[in-house]
Amino acid sequence: MRRLLLLLCLLPAFALAQTMITRDGVTLTPPQEKRAEAVGGQLRCLVCQNESIEESNAKLAAQLRGIIRTQVKQGVPDKQILAYMVQRYGIFVLLKPPFLPLTWLLYAMPVLALAVGFAAFWFGRRHGNAPKPLDEAEAARLEELLRE
């Protein structure tokens, strides 16, 4: 009977242990893990550069995930975690950088590329030199080559 009572007392502890998630050396509750994944999904892997740190398998990404999870466990707000990462690694660490004077060129590049391409096409057509007509010797040579 004592064993059964002891088992019933320990049952909530076992249930709690099952709901905790350990990743990158930090144990979190499911809501905390979801929040950490959301923050990590906004940060670029500095090694891979085309993946978020949540998707990356690089060692640096795992370290950054550990830092984020530690801060989430301590209750640090998301914006403060992102500000810490930007302060430490620069604005490049954000997958979607804000619209700042520093990033204007980044956002303007597609429009500038289209404008330069259109201008090159326009001036190339407008100011392009038309080929001069063939003289009699060249026309005769062309006829000879076409017959062969």
Same domain as 143, residue 117: yes
pLDDT in tens, 73-86: 999 999 999 999 99
How would residue 125 be classed by pLDDT, with cut points 50, 70 and 90? confident
Same domain as 105, residue 66: no
Range of the domain at 110: 100-148
Record the tokens describing residue 122, joined without a space. 């326009």
- The answer to whether the beta carbons of residues 23 and 68 sit under 8 Å apart is no
CA distance 3 to 92: 58
Same domain as 82, residue 10: yes
pLDDT in tens, 130-146: 778 889 999 899 999 99
Q: SS3 of 112, please?
A: helix
CA distance 82 to 90: 11
Same domain as 104, residue 122: yes
Amino acid in position 94 = L
Q: What is the CATH number of the domain that holds 34?
A: 1.10.8.640
Report the number of distinct structural domains present in the chain: 2
Same domain as 130, residue 118: yes
Same domain as 88, residue 123: no
CA distance 38 to 66: 14
Instruction: Give the list of residues 6+ apart from residue 48 with CB closer than 8 angstroms, or none.
Output: 56, 58, 61
Same domain as 94, residue 27: yes
